[in-house]
Structure 1
Amino acid sequence: MRSSRTRLTVVALAAALLVTSVVVPEPGAQGRTAVKVSVLRSAFVYFAPYVAEAKGFFARHGLDASLIYFRSGAETTTAVVSGSTEFGALATEHVTQVRDQGLKVKAIVANLTDSPFTLVVRKEVPLPSAAQGYPAVIRDLKGLKLGITGRGASTDFTLRFLLREAGLDPDRDVTIIAVGGVSTSVAALAKGDIQGYLGFEPIQTQAIHGLSVAKPVIDMRKGEGPKLLHEYAYNSMVAKEEYLEANPETARRMVAAIVDTHRFLADPKNFDEALKVAEKYFEGIDPRLLRQILTDSIKGYRPVITKQAVANIGEMLKFAGLIKRPPAFEEVVDVRYAPTKFP
């Protein structure tokens, strides 16, 4: 069942969209097209846009792109549908969810295909079903306080999906608490304000290896967890349909910049350069941890959004009670721009 807070998030997005119009790009530096891209700060989910900025891939393709930082995925989505940013690096689930509410946005290229989540708990939490794996081990979490980034965020409905697939009621059998992003979530785990957390890098590595306060329950990057997440399109570059209609060349340039970013990340000889980018955007994290995070995560950076991935997203959201019907592929992805092959 949908939580009231999740419904309110979607209603707020709809209200934002109704009072805005298409953002028309203005000339940027050296004749490049100026665009704003909504992202989160210091999260490896958004590493592709960070690299595109740092290595000049946006500029190479004629874009003067400014990354605009927000606190949660729900906020980045609001920025796109309200028109305050032309593009957003959004959870592809959010595209599906807001379209179900009548808001016309589409994905044009994936920033990250694999689900980035690891569900962790504090070390002292017993996991008697650990050897049985998923979904049995999820039942061991009954009665716990579990953290997410925010209500309505992808961490929220993914956690609810995991719990429901394991036979637990997310609203009765556990307490779900919105504790924010990297710094606040790790602190909440360390202090014991929450006993578990569903998050993305660098959260799990800091909690497990940095502070040694947590242990993994399931790591979806390793293929653990729901089968629906084995072929996915977790985060995509997204824009309003009317913007894409009015600015086709800008859309093509954005896709080309992100595809070039993926080519860079896919080449092993560029690993150390990619690590330097991580050190720039993730200040204060031990470089040894950053190397481990990048090693564990880099295979997930691919640009193609497959039909099966969109079908899996729709099935998961419908199961979680967040959409009325799974969408068609063409409703979620703008096939005029989206790449179909890589490399």
Structure 2
Amino acid sequence: MSKLRPLMVIGVAAALALTGCASTATSSSSTKQQVGDASGDKVSIMVGGLSKQIYLPFALADRLGYYKEQGLNVALSDEPAGIDATTNMLAGKVDGVGGFYDHTIALQGLGQSAESVVSMLVTPGEVELCRNDLKGKVKSPADWKGLNLGITDKGSSTDFLTQALAQRNGVDPTTTHRIGVQSGPTLIGAMTHKNVDCAMTTEPTVSQLLATGDAYIMLDMRTAASTKKYLGGEYPASSLYMMTDYVNKNPKTVQKLVNAYVKTLAFIHTHSAAEITAKLPADYYAGVGKAAYIKALDSEKGIYNPTGIMPPNGPPTNLKVLGDFNSAVKGKTIDVSKTYTDRFVKAAQ
């Protein structure tokens, strides 16, 4: 059996890459930080960009002392180069992933059981930026045919969303060129050097490109109304998801994590953007500046889930969006009730 497990993981990882649920990046630039109580329950979480505002709860929980309060010894891995967190989880290298909920749906389509244990974002929080010299020419995804489109990486949720938006606007995703440019400096460089025409990203990268005048917003999915307009309904995004087997074997550790994140989400909704930013290390807003970071956070605080409960109308939207183009999901019978659980959040409340 020990020989079969590595082969199974390799096979699923290959399938993920082919179906759009795994990164093609092979960079080793990931960083790890140990936080919380050194003598507490050990748990490792890989996050798709700790400094991104869409993943704010993971870092903020540490800065507020909530991991330590729960008796957790947490290893947070930051993957700015897009090394695939889902594949690392499948391989047993990390216990959980700070990523978009939609990956649990794609995994079920590939015969794997993973579940979100706390929902952190009720909208994607993503913005599609285009180069300023294309203003007036590229007005919507209907204009994307033949364009170079920046995504975090192949198989990322930005890849999912880019393909979905293209298809929903009458453009075959295969007629676009989706290029992994990560976020922050690498995405900014790709856009300023005209390696990409448009790119999907989040704050604080959005504010940096708008401030320099290098880009304009083509579409914005930071509100419930705009998300419904572009994706057809609620689209819960950032979450902590783990393999179901791990959750079943470690319910006490999972409960402690969820307790910390539920408290963090409550803190976000009961404190100003300035108060929240004051808790973060300076390198989180170094590129855009503290004032711009606060302004961006203040304008998009509505993206955060106030309770951690999965929005009931969200999973069906995620399933429909993925089912339109993702071969891991299309034509498959998916039970979304098994892709998330609210039991830990309800216990935390």
Identity %: 21
Equivalence for 1:7:
18
Equivalence for 2:31:
none
Cα drift, residue 338 of structure 1: 3.9
Are 1:32 and 2:40 counterparts? yes
Aligned to 1:67, the other structure's residue is in SS state: strand
CA separation of 1:32/1:279 partners in 2, compared to 1, >3 Å: closer, same or farther? Answer: closer
Equivalence for 1:188:
190
Q: Which string of whole-angstrom CA distances, capped at 9 and with x for unpartnered residues, describes residues 289-329 of structure 1?
A: 20122112222111121231111111100012341336333
TM-score by length of 2: 0.83
Are 1:312 and 2:347 counterparts? no
Q: Is the 8 A contact 2:21 2:156 kept in 1?
A: no
CA separation of 1:76/1:30 partners in 2, compared to 1, >3 Å: closer, same or farther? Answer: closer
Cα drift, residue 125 of structure 1: 0.6
Q: Is the 8 A contact 1:114 1:230 kept in 2?
A: no
Higher mean C-alpha displacement, 149-158 vs 316-325: 316-325
Q: Is the 8 A contact 2:259 2:345 kept in 1?
A: no
Equivalence for 2:293:
290
Out of 244, 249, 254, the residue aligned to residue 247 of structure 2 is 244
Out of 328, 332, 335, the residue aligned to residue 335 of structure 2 is 328
Letter in 1 for 2:326: G
CA separation of 1:69/1:111 partners in 2, compared to 1, >3 Å: closer, same or farther? Answer: same
Cα drift, residue 75 of structure 1: 1.4
Aligned to 1:284, the other structure's residue is in SS state: coil
**Which runs of no fewer than 5 residues in structure 2 stay unpaired?**
1-13, 25-35
CA–CA separation in structure 1 for the residues paired with 2:173 and 2:21: 20
Q: Which string of whole-angstrom CA distances, capped at 9 and with x for unpartnered residues, describes residues 7-31 of structure 1?
A: 1665899xxxxxxxxxxxxxx8464
Equivalence for 1:271:
273
Equivalence for 1:61:
70
Letter in 2 for 1:312: T
Cα drift, residue 95 of structure 1: 1.1
Cα drift, residue 332 of structure 1: 0.4
Give structure 1 regions of 4+ aligned residues with deviation exceeding 6 angstroms.
none
CA separation of 1:246/1:340 partners in 2, compared to 1, >3 Å: closer, same or farther? Answer: closer
Query: Root-mean-square deviation (CA), in Å?
Result: 2.6
CA separation of 1:52/1:118 partners in 2, compared to 1, >3 Å: closer, same or farther? Answer: same
Are 1:164 and 2:173 counterparts? no
1:114-263 superposed matches below 5 A: 114-127=123-136, 130=139, 137-172=140-175, 174-209=176-211, 211-222=212-223, 223-224=225-226, 226-227=228-229, 228=231, 230-263=233-266
CA–CA separation in structure 1 for the residues paired with 2:348 and 2:39: 30
Aligned to 1:118, the other structure's residue is in SS state: strand
Are 1:106 and 2:111 counterparts? no
Equivalence for 2:4:
none
TM-score by length of 1: 0.84
CA–CA separation in structure 1 for the residues paired with 2:285 and 2:318: 33
Aligned to 1:294, the other structure's residue is in SS state: helix
Cα drift, residue 230 of structure 1: 4.2
